[in-house]
Amino acid sequence: MGIVAQHVGKVIGAPPTRILSDITLDIREGEFVSLTGRSGAGKSTLLYLLSSLDKASEGTIEIEGQDVGRMSGEALSRFRNEKMGFVFQFHYLIAELNALENTLLPARKFKQQERRKAHAEKLLERFGLGDKLNRLPRQLSGGEMQRVAIARALVMEPRYVFADEPTGSLDTANGERVINILREANETSGTTVVLVTHEPEFANLAKRQIHLRDGRVV
């Protein structure tokens, strides 16, 4: 089923500024897709539209056959919680929670934190954070925080992971580690990964690249 975008456009602000025009694309389940393009090309905007965080000004986006523009707020919240994971350029960890609690935050929404705890610990161990479960974000390095953010995105075993320049604030070694984790999730669990990056070597690791220029797919 995957994600299907048809004639999607996005206009923001006043006076209106067009960011995206007539985007039609299809991301199949289990794919690893990278969205590339220059700064301002509309990569992140397209990612947020595809992931339902933002609403399209024109066209339709369907995820698993459901038009996200027509889904109720509650249904969309549940859909995001159970089937989507997000990784941003900044980790957005909650400063008051330790690594394990941050990882389990999506599970906590539906009181599944106990059920998902072992899985969260396993993820953090796999990402080299087994001895740092109880550390607060301020006690972790930038790379470690981003790995906790990925563990948080994967804890619900989502079908889709949307990553918006997850290596943007990391050094090369940590950047590679993050990309490898995403690849591993795609290969071992069949998680669909949509990655926004402006780094060609990371974009090349994806099975398919979608290149944007001036708000259009080229």
User: Is the CB of 61 or the CB of 205 nearer to another protein?
Assistant: 61
Q: Say whether residue 40 binds another protein (CB under 8 A).
A: no
The answer to whether the bond into 15 is cis (omega within 30° of 0) is yes
Sheet holding 3-12, edge to edge: 17-27, 3-12, 58-63, 66-67
**What residues from 189 to 218 belong to the interface with another protein (CB under 8 A)?**
none
Q: What is the 3-state secondary structure (H, E, C) of 162-202?
A: EEECCCCCCCHHHHHHHHHHHHHHHHHHCCEEEEECCCHHH
- One residue of 92, 115, 130, 187 binding another protein per CB under 8 A: 92
Q: Say whether residue 115 binds another protein (CB under 8 A).
A: no
Minimal distance, residue 195 CB to another protein, in Å: 16
- One residue of 11, 71, 105, 133 binding another protein per CB under 8 A: 105
Q: Say whether residue 77 binds another protein (CB under 8 A).
A: yes
Q: Are 207 and 33 spatial neighbours (Cβ–Cβ below 8 Å)?
A: yes
With tokens 């339902």, the residue in question is 52
Q: Say whether residue 57 binds another protein (CB under 8 A).
A: no
- One residue of 11, 25, 53, 133 binding another protein per CB under 8 A: 53
